Structure 1
Amino acid sequence: MSRILLLFNRFSTKIILAFLLMILIPTLFTSVFFYFASDSILKKNVRESTVQIAKKTADSLSSILNVGSDTSDFIYSDLNIQHAVLNVNSSNSEEQSRMFQYMNTMLNNIVYSNSFVKIVYVLKEDGSGWGSGTFSDRKVKRMQLSSQSWVKEANSKDGEFVWQGIQYDLFSGGGVNTDLVLPVGRVLKDFNSLNNIGLIQVNLNGRAILNTIEELKLGETGKFFVVDAEGRVMIDPDLRLINKKVENPDLYGNIVNHDRAEFEFRIKGVPYYGVKQLLINGWMIVGTVPVHEITGPLDKLQTWILLSSTVFALLAVGIGLFIASRVTRPINQLIRVMQLVQDGDLKVRTEVHSSDEIGLLSKQFNKMLHEIENLMQRVEDEQSQKHDAELRAVIHRVHPHFLYNTLSTLRLLIRSNQNNRAYQGLSALTRLLEANMAKSGNMVTVEEELDIIHKYLVILELRYQKKFNLKLDVEPGAEKIIIPRMLLQPLVENAIFHGIVPKNTDGEVFIKVYQSEEMVEFIVKDDGLGIDKEKLKGLNDPESSIASGEIGIGLRHIHDSLRLHYVNQSEWSVTTEPDQGATIRIVLHKPHRILGEGGV
């Protein structure tokens, strides 16, 4: 019994047990945690990517639909077309011929000028009219336009658009059902009397629209289609479904009765995942896919992770047992040497020369003893450098301010449980600090300063959840001019914080860099709220504002940089217009040399 107690009291036994626990517990915990956390995270990412695909497709389809409405507006507002429709039957043959030539040329030019417009018609309810391509007025007359549902709807809407589901063109003379189109119609009015004088129908390229939808993939069997506000299918590769309401009541309810961008429903007991996005004409693009098709590979991955984690844990235990048996001997030697050092013998050295971590620890311990002998001299050297360090701290005092603002943003994101956005912000900060520290010294090129601004805008967009567009106008060659570090970044930060953010909208910052033989000029302009007169006066007199403490750290840094690097050789001015933003102009009359002409 005493031997067993002695065995468990030995240092080597404790190390082995601790090593085993340190390996087994984190490995098992990490595997289990990753199993459940990855399921949630990856499913979320898959769904977010699906929503983004739907949004991009909705934008593409909306652009195509915009072409149809814009084309219809163009025809609707053409006075020559109105004249032709009003007078074609009352004019002489020569005038009629001229009208027909004008109309045919105009409509064909519209089709040729845009790849998404397939066919254009201008019709009268009596069956006459014009059309691009192989228009057949005989088909129009046989159809009796006044009885068509879209014509009735167009008359009731009195000039508004009437969108129809994808279909084959009805009026082409090139054969039966030759062109797949998406029609948008409306009545044509006489601007003088406001009477309905005809009909306009713009047929968009249905095949191009279907290709846009069919290119999207959701799992193996998922698909996208378009419905109107009442849940009727308007665009679908299966033309038999056009103008029919969505059959599945669960899916229909999620489309019509809810505003959620993503949802889940069931078809014959099988769970499905769906997304939807609104189009510009009030329709919606809807995507559906069985849930197992987007999560099946994840389940296989998680099973593999659990199995591999178990195998590696067992392997690590075996390796830990072997390593632990070799650790105690050199550790005991180190302990004996440390005791001698504790007694005041700084000349002693360890004799452990292995190549593992213990050997490295021995070398570092010997090195530490050597460094202690030189400590007093180092302290004296450091004291002599204190004054220079204080000067550098003054020059770089803007850096903590900049870092504080950035970390404050990350803190707010974490506090509001926006961990994903906080991670993005931290990644952006890492890239920003990497770029900011990549260049030694206090001077950078204009190109490097603009690169730092680009990276910093990513953090500001995360902080304020707005889009800040940066426009640059840099004269060729000016990007290599050397300037003080962070000369422009505080101006961009102030423009966003004081000018754009209070508007609670997206904004734009414009930076122009112009150079000549004697000077270089920087202009930073925003589209924010502008600056009130009292503050504007203080900004144009920075000396007084600094003395009274009314100017911020960023602008003070810029003022001190200009004062130290360009003595009496710089200009600073601030102008503003109410609700039109502020403009800051900096002129350096003797700029630093260009990179490549001697370096920084």
Structure 2
Amino acid sequence: MFRKKFLYRSFSTKIIVAFLLVILISTLFISLSFYWESNSILKKNVRESTVQITKQTAESLSFILNVGIDTSDFISSDENIRQAALELNSNTSNDQRRNSEYINTLLNNYVYSNSFVKIVYVLKEEGSGWGSGTFSEARLKKIQLSEQEWVKEAKQKDGELVWQGLQYDDFNGGGINTDLTLPVGRVLKDFDTLNNIGLVQVHLDGRSILNTIEHLKLGKTGKFFVVDKNGMIMIDSNLDSINKKVENPDLYHHIVGNDAVEFEFDANGIPYYGVKQSLSNGWMLVGTVPIHEISGQLDRLQSWIVVSAGVFSLLAIGIGLFIAGRVTQPIRQLSQSMLQVQRGDLKARANVDSSDEIGFLSKQFNEMLFEIVNLMQQVETEQSEKHHAELRAVMHRVHPHFLFNTLSTLRWLIDSNQNERAYHVLSALTHLLEANMGKSGSIIMVEEELDIIRKYLVILELRYEKTFHLALDIEPGTERLLIPRMLLQPVVENAIFHGIVPKNTDGQISIKIHFDDGKLEFLITDDGLGISDDKVKELNDPVTAVEKGKIGIGLRHIFDTLRLYYAHNWKWSISSRSEQGTTVRIIIKNWELTQKN
């Protein structure tokens, strides 16, 4: 009895008990700290990756939708299409046949020139019209267009776009094997009287759109779908849900009444994680997934930590000081590694040479850090790919605009029976395309950009029978500097079209290039009509002008090019005086650094 009492009160017993309590407390604290930190890091990276994927998908869908918008704009602004719509049923049968052949060919060209445009229609409410592909006028006559909801909405919007949900084409003559499309329509206006003279409907490739969202997976059962601003489902792999309101009221509220990009909601008692991104036409891309599918590994990690802590504590209490001495050092090493990671050093690794639970925990910790580094590298790679995709999109946007203006000149000369001048324009265009599509890629020397401008001026002089003098003041050495392709040509093009041509006189454009103290400066001046003070004020705030749609394709291309290539190391300014011309100044700051980047 005395021996037991002495043992209970002995110093060694107290030290062992105190030491074991310290081990128990420290083990639990380290385990929980590790879990909280890893839980925070992993959840943050998983969600950031999900949001990033959603953003990229939204940009891909917006690109497809913008194709529909651009195609609709081109068709609605085509003078021949509007004239044919006005004269339909009033011309002779031969004229109508020629018009039909021309319009059908034109619409088919729109379809063939873009893989995302499936079908294009120009319709009259009385049941006649034109269409690409297997357009069936017989099926059109069976449909009362004036009773169609999209037609009523198009009339109310008076020229604005009307989007419809994913559906099968009503006017396709291919029988039951009709194409799955996403239609966008509008009324066709007579620009002289502003009267409605018909309807334009562009059908985007629904299969391509579905493939864009079906290839993405959130967990095992998560999915993406698209809704309009009223919460109606417009794009979904389940076609039965199209044009139906989102059923879950909690999800509906987060989509329509909440601006947060990420949110959580309940569905049948199961917590879900949701993410959303706006599309270019006002719709919303929404992704949902049960939370346990993206956090299940964290829950298992938590269980493993708890079990490991319990097992280790029991072993520590059973074996005492011997095990405590062996465990203290590895825990200290792991703690130091965790503190290094907490300070931002993701290269830190726990070098614990042990085969027990702490060694296994150290290995798992190192593997977790390895996965985090890989995840961050993946996000960085995706950001880089997104940046290059934006650069390609900018170039692909301005090229059709540039080529459209040139081909319009050629068509105008042919329509005017000026075949010899048309031949010269075509020859100049050949040389221009040869220069503009060389092997130098999207970055060219200044002298190559100036050569493109000279060739383009040849085409414009042939069209307008005017002389456009090009005065160059190029600082020696700057002609070999590298700049993005088509950086200066849109400015010269705007000067001709909007400044000099309206004066109906010859004109002069001067380009001055200067390099000093790390700054590369371009000064482009014309002697045209000039720009109003209000417009100059708008253009000198390009960010706001882009947001409000107050900037043309050419200047928008220059803005996007400067923004994507040079980040914040650039600025432009525009000055103009009525009847005395316009000056555009573009400055690239820290030019040497931007070339290294």
| TM bracket, shorter-chain basis | 0.5 to 0.7
1:510-549 Cα offsets, whole Å, 9 max, x none, are 79xxxxxxxxxxxx9930489xxxxxxxxxxxxxxxxxxx
For residues 6-25 of structure 1, give each alpha carbon's deviation from its aligned partner in whole angstroms, at most 9, with x where no partner exists.
9959xxx98x9998677654
SS in 1 for 2:142: helix
How far apart, in 1, do the equivalents of 2:18 and 2:272 lie? 48
Amino acid at match of 1:199: L
Match of 1:69 in 2: 69
Correspondence list, 1:184-199, <5 A: 184-199=184-199
Q: Is the 8 A contact 2:166 2:180 kept in 1?
A: yes
- Post-superposition CA distance 1:97-127 (Å, at most 9, x none): 2211111111111111111111111111111
Pairing of 1:353-392 with structure 2 (within 5 A): none
Quote the offset at 1:145 in angstroms. 0.8
Give the drift of 1:192.
2.1
Name the residue aligned to 2:570. Answer: 527
Does residue 249 in structure 1 map to residue 292 in structure 2? no
Q: 1:185 to 1:424 in 2, by over 3 A?
A: farther
CA deviation after TM superposition for structure 1 residue 46, in Å: 2.8
Code of the residue aligned with 2:275 in structure 1: it is V
Contact 1:472/1:510, CA 8 A, preserved across alignment: no
Shift of 1:209: 1.0
Residues 177 and 247 (structure 1), Cα distance of their counterparts in 2 relative to 1, 3 Å cut: farther
Of 142-151 and 16-25, more deviation after overlay is shown by: 16-25
> Does the 8 Å contact 1:116/1:208 carry over to 2?
yes
- Aligned to 1:143, the other structure's residue is in SS state coil
Does residue 1:183 correspond to 2:183, yes or no?
yes
TM-score (norm 2): 0.54
Cα distance in structure 1, aligned partners of 2:568 and 2:215: 42
RMSD of aligned Cα (Å): 4.6
Deviation at 1:179, TM superposition (A): 0.9
CA distance in 2, matches of 1:137, 1:249: 43
Instruction: Using the TM superposition, give the Cα deviation of residue 279 of structure 1 relative to its aligned residue in structure 2, in angstroms.
Output: 0.8
Change (3 A) 1:323 1:428: closer
Q: CA deviation at 1:55?
A: 1.4
Q: CA offset at residue 491 of structure 1?
A: 7.3
Q: 2:157 is matched with which residue?
A: 157
Q: Structure 2 vs 1, CA of residues 23 and 162 (structure 1 numbering), >3 Å: closer, same or farther?
A: same
* Equivalent position SS for 2:184: strand
Q: CA deviation at 1:585?
A: 8.2
Give the superposition deviation at 1:323: 10
Task: Summarize the Cα distance change of 1:120–1:324 in structure 2 as closer, same or farther, 3 Å threshold.
Answer: closer
Would the aligned equivalents of 1:161 and 1:184 in 2 still touch at CA under 8 Å?
yes
Task: Assess if the C-alpha contact under 8 Å between 2:213 and 2:224 holds in 1.
Answer: yes
Q: CA deviation at 1:428?
A: 10
**Residue in 2 that maps onto 1:225:** 225
Q: What is the Cα deviation at residue 268 of structure 1?
A: 2.7
After TM superposition, give the deviation of residue 265 of structure 1 in Å.
1.9
Match of 1:81, as an amino acid?
I
**Deviation string, structure 1 residues 526-582 (Cα, Å, up to 9, x no partner):** 30489xxxxxxxxxxxxxxxxxxxxxxxxxxxxxxxxxxxxxxxxxxxxxx998446
Q: Is the 8 A contact 1:510 1:525 kept in 2?
A: no
Distance 2:62 2:314 in 1: 57
Q: Percent identity?
A: 59
User: Match of 2:570, as an amino acid?
Assistant: D
Paired with 1:299 and 1:65, the residues of 2 have a C-alpha distance of 40
Q: Secondary structure at the match of 2:66?
A: helix
Residues 53 and 66 from structure 1, CA distance in 2 versus in 1: closer, same or farther, beyond 3 angstroms? same
Is 1:31 matched up with 2:31?
yes
**Equivalent residues, number:** 373
State how 1:504-523 maps to structure 2 within 5 Å: none
The aligned runs of 1:576-591 (5 Å cut-off) are 580-581=586-587, 583=589
1:168 equivalent in structure 2: 168
User: Would the aligned equivalents of 1:274 and 1:289 in 2 still touch at CA under 8 Å?
Assistant: yes
Answer whether contact 1:125 1:198 (CA < 8 A) is retained.
Answer: yes
User: Counterpart of 1:94?
Assistant: 94
Equivalent residues in 2 for 1:468-487, closer than 5 Å: none
- Quote how far apart the aligned CAs of 1:264 are: 1.9
By how many angstroms is 1:287 displaced?
Answer: 1.5
Instruction: Return the letter of the residue paired with 1:202.
Output: V
User: Counterpart amino acid of 1:321?
Assistant: F
Say which is worse superposed, 163-172 or 83-92, in terms of deviation.
Answer: 83-92
Q: For the Cα contact (< 8 Å) 1:525–1:581, is it kept in 2?
A: no
Give the drift of 1:180.
0.6
Q: Which runs of 5+ in 1 are unaligned?
A: 326-421, 431-454, 462-468, 479-489, 493-502, 512-523, 531-576, 587-600
